[in-house]
Structure 1
Amino acid sequence: MAPSTKTNRDNVNSSKPKKQLKLFAFEMGTSGLQSPGLWKHPKDHSRDYNTLEYWTSLSQLLERGKFNGLFIADVLGPYDVYNGPKNFTAAATSGAQFPNIEPSALISACAAVTSNLAFGITFSTISEAPYHFARRLATLDWLTRGRIGWNVVSSYLDSAARNLLNGEDLPPHSERYQRAEEYIEVIYKLFLSSWADDAVELKDGVFSNPDKIRQINHKGKWFEVPGPFISEPNPYQRLPVIIQAGTSSAGKNFAAEHAEVVFVTQFAPEALAKSITEIKKIALEKFGRPDGSIKFLQLITPIIGATQEEAESKYQEYQSYGDIEGAQALFSGWTGIDISQYQYGEDITAVGTNAVKSFLDLWNKKAPGEPEHVKKTREHVAKQITIGGLGPVFYGTAEKVADEIERWVGISDLDGFNITYAVQPTTFEEVVEVLIPELRKRGLVWDDYPNIGRPLSFREQLFGVDREDSSFLLETHPAHKLRWRAGESKEEFEARLNKKRSIEGVED
């Protein structure tokens, strides 16, 4: 999508205070990520995704640019919807998010070469038992001194479910979210309600005081977890940041209740504004979470040139390396609709199912030189996906891209951006060296991390350092009251928990 010829000052009230944006890099342990086939570009290094040097150098680059964090996506199976069920040929041939590596294994190395950069990792609630996963999260949050967030997903690929659920297909969407609700409930209990803040005493020959440790005794539909948790509480965040990216009705409800960060992607800021408003409304009316308690980040791919013509030429060059088959494999996996059922030249919005029509109604992604209105054919959609996937591409000079960023924020009330690459590391280098200085000049991003004498926690990256206990959950988060605080006896804590459940009408 080309930056608008109108700046943000033409589209929004210039007297409105500028929001300081949050910037995250969007990555995955694979090649190409949102731009299938670009691993063939001579400047692209994403093929090196399975080396530590790839990740440590990226982390250092991002911290030099004062990014808030690095978010690592994940999938647990190949995209095998395109060209018939269980057919992963296109994904394998193009390298479309296949193969890939497990995201949490990278974090310790990245944290060791940075001081403030936060790390969001994606894990599915069908991937492993919550008790085991909670220990993984706790370990990473200790080792990074509170710089970890968990992107909660319920999975969308049957290929993943077949390998994780004893050969069964993915459960229905509503059931997956019900399971995710119970899964995160177990995580909360393990992190917040099993150990008191002061349970580790390290005095008079006592390491941990057993009177300050309790079993959670969780018994639910999907999980039975007695506890106690095997990891001690850390003073950095106590609970890693909760991230979510679902946009379905169930996903929005889950985000409104639990998420501290929501990753979103739309092709127009007006549609984005509607989605953000819906989640904020549910959060306030249903869960008592006011505006500002959830941060919203939009996916974008910036392509920057010294001139508009250079940026457009670069876009077209990149697109020439794109893999059309890989793009169709990704589209079919993301939507669950096998796009091969349509002819290349057919207008899918005229002949497609209601599901694909509603999806493409919002599609206004446009490459340089394309007319304003083109048929949304299978060929057109696939070609568009080769650069930036399901997110818009902002191409132009740094000034034009910054104008477009301001326009989107002004219209949608976004809190920041999840920036992904076309060519790695070139895209991120251009953002750090050219785009961020322009954003900084406009007062849209900070000059440096706040100096507080210690690393910033992930939560402080999002909500600042001005609150007392600034690394812990906001008071309006539903899990805030589950924390067993220092000086509170087991009996006092359990009485408080029981009172909370009674008020909320919750039964164990």
Structure 2
Amino acid sequence: MKDAMTRQMHLVGMVNPPTSQYAENWRNPLGRADWLSARFYTDLGRTLERGLFDMIFFADALAVPEAADGSYDTTLLTGGKGSIYLDPVATISLVAGVTSRIGLGATMSTSFVPPYAIARQLLTVDHLSGGRAAWNIVTSTTNAEARNMGRDAIANPVDRYDTADRVLGTVLDLWHSWDSDGLVLDRDERKFADPSKVHRVPVDEGEKPLSRGPLTLPPSPQGHPVLMQAGSSSRGRDFAARWAEVIFAIGDSEEQMRDFRTEVQERAARDHGRDRNSIRVLQGVQPIVGWTDADAAEKLAQLRAQISLDDALVKLGRLLHADEPLDSRASAVDVLAAHRGATGSVGFEDMLASVSARRGYTVADLAIEQALNQLHPQLVGSPASVADELEHLFRSEAADGFIVMPALYHSSFDEFVDGVVPELQRRGIFRTHYTGTTLREHLQA
């Protein structure tokens, strides 16, 4: 175990244009609008690799978000989150071709994508990138996604996680279906591979296997892609404790962050026999970086001023599947309680309710904050001030690092890489160069 003086902070860039966590990103003249072009993503990959980030990862969902009546009009009219999603595996493949070190994360759903397809697609990218791929594991949450994938409705959260356990176990079996020395390539002996070192998926008695294998690929330079997950409900935390190498967490306070990290690491050790220190818990943050603290505060004020309360209320109502327009003056806690279960993510709803209660939010307050940063912690200030906050959270063991979520593409990432990263390096808590070639090596450093 590394002590407090030798631990190194981990940084991951989250990408999901055209909005990111800031709903008005697509309208802002300082935001790039070419998010349907290859260059948008290759430029991002180069920027984050220049900043020595561990990984860039791409969020995903399988449907345009719908209102209570099943319509998607308000999502498309307002440019709501989820209006556009490119296929994440295709996108990380694009970034792989213009980078050489940064990790590449893609979101894939255990509810709808067969294990064999997940295993082959991600291991292909892992090979072609030299061992830099990661799987951001999601179970999906909405009926709209289910209907797009030929189902009548989404399963309940417990069943979704039970399915995810089976799918993930099968994917790992497929990734391990070749021994490390199974590919022989002995030209003189005319022996391509050793069949005795290539295996079918083990079968549990009484259960129909999800795939029989073997996979059509041997292990990659890092063995297999890194596993990443963001479950925040109790069942989601157990899933993360069992499987995840990287956990994407959201905490509203230092105490919440530390409690979550401690709990999930203890679950991993107690319930699953894992080394608690092998898990990297990364907290989501939205940095607003300026030349000075005052400059950053003015940037934040301008971002907030661009948000229309009417639009924000419409988006919040759609998120909660409200049948009627929301009363902006009502208690956010009461409204969230009345629409419990609407988003399909219990952990996300609990976070909204917890933050709303602690801050005394009205529905209007919640709508604006949701449109501004989706209630992720905002770090606002000069590069030194932002680095101060990150360093404190890191050294206090509230986090092993951070998922950086930009307000604007690409300027928020540029400001972080050019301003905050050098500050972290001067303090000795962030790498000055990559010491490994694979993503798993970055995470273990």
Q: TM-score if structure 2 supplies the norm length?
A: 0.90
- Work out the CA distance in 1 between the residues paired with 2:310 and 2:44: 29
- Work out the CA distance in 1 between the residues paired with 2:77 and 2:124: 36
Partner of 2:282: 297
SS at match of 1:100: coil
Partner of 2:30: 43
Q: Which amino acid aligns with 1:39?
A: W
Q: Which amino acid aligns with 1:200?
A: L
Query: Residue 112 of structure 1 is aligned with which of 82, 85, 97?
Result: 97
- Work out the CA distance in 2 between the residues paired with 1:292 and 1:151: 20
Mapped pair 1:418 → 2:403? yes
Contact 1:130–1:186 (8 Å) recurs in 2 = yes
1:339-358 alignment, distance < 5 Å: 342-350=326-334, 352-353=336-337, 355=340, 358=350
Largest Rg, 1 or 2: 1
Cα 1:141/1:323, change in 2 over 3 Å? farther
For structure 1, the residue ranges without an aligned partner over 5 or more in a row are: 1-14, 366-372, 465-508
Q: 1:316: how far off? A: 1.3
Cα 1:62/1:374, change in 2 over 3 Å? closer
Cα 1:408/1:378, change in 2 over 3 Å? same
Mapped pair 1:71 → 2:57? yes
Q: 1:106: how far off? A: 1.5
Partner of 1:140: 125
SS at match of 1:201: strand
- Work out the CA distance in 2 between the residues paired with 1:63 and 1:173: 36
Q: Which amino acid aligns with 2:24?
A: G
Query: Residue 122 of structure 1 is aligned with which of 107, 123, 130?
Result: 107
Contact 2:332–2:353 (8 Å) recurs in 1 = no
Over residues 266-304 of structure 1, what are the superposed CA-to-partner deviations in whole Å (9 max), with x where a residue is unaligned?
221111111112111111111122331100111111111
Q: How many pairs align?
A: 431
- Work out the CA distance in 2 between the residues paired with 1:282 and 1:422: 34
1:217-236 alignment, distance < 5 Å: 218=203, 223-234=209-220, 236=221
Over residues 323-345 of structure 1, what are the superposed CA-to-partner deviations in whole Å (9 max), with x where a residue is unaligned?
556655665676x5639564111
Query: Residue 21 of structure 1 is aligned with which of 9, 13, 28?
Result: 9
Contact 2:167–2:210 (8 Å) recurs in 1 = no
1:428-467 alignment, distance < 5 Å: 428-450=413-435, 456-464=437-445
For structure 2, the residue ranges without an aligned partner over 5 or more in a row are: 342-348
Partner of 1:9: none
Q: Which amino acid aligns with 1:196?
A: D
Q: 1:63: how far off? A: 1.1
RMSD: 2.4
Partner of 2:371: 386
Cα 1:329/1:414, change in 2 over 3 Å? farther
Contact 1:36–1:323 (8 Å) recurs in 2 = no
Contact 1:299–1:419 (8 Å) recurs in 2 = yes
SS at match of 2:267: helix
Mapped pair 1:174 → 2:158? yes
Cα 1:424/1:275, change in 2 over 3 Å? same
Cα 1:445/1:299, change in 2 over 3 Å? same
Query: Residue 255 of structure 1 is aligned with which of 240, 243, 267?
Result: 240
- Work out the CA distance in 2 between the residues paired with 1:382 and 1:222: 46
Cα 1:341/1:284, change in 2 over 3 Å? farther
Contact 1:27–1:420 (8 Å) recurs in 2 = yes
SS at match of 2:201: coil
Q: 1:253: how far off? A: 0.5
Contact 1:125–1:180 (8 Å) recurs in 2 = yes
Contact 1:186–1:218 (8 Å) recurs in 2 = no
Partner of 1:212: 197
- Work out the CA distance in 1 between the residues paired with 2:179 and 2:275: 28
- Work out the CA distance in 2 between the residues paired with 1:40 and 1:135: 38
Contact 1:79–1:330 (8 Å) recurs in 2 = no
* Percent sequence identity over aligned pairs: 29
1:453-492 alignment, distance < 5 Å: 456-464=437-445
Q: 1:133: how far off? A: 1.8
Contact 1:323–1:386 (8 Å) recurs in 2 = no
Contact 2:88–2:106 (8 Å) recurs in 1 = yes
SS at match of 1:394: strand
SS at match of 2:354: coil
Contact 2:111–2:140 (8 Å) recurs in 1 = yes
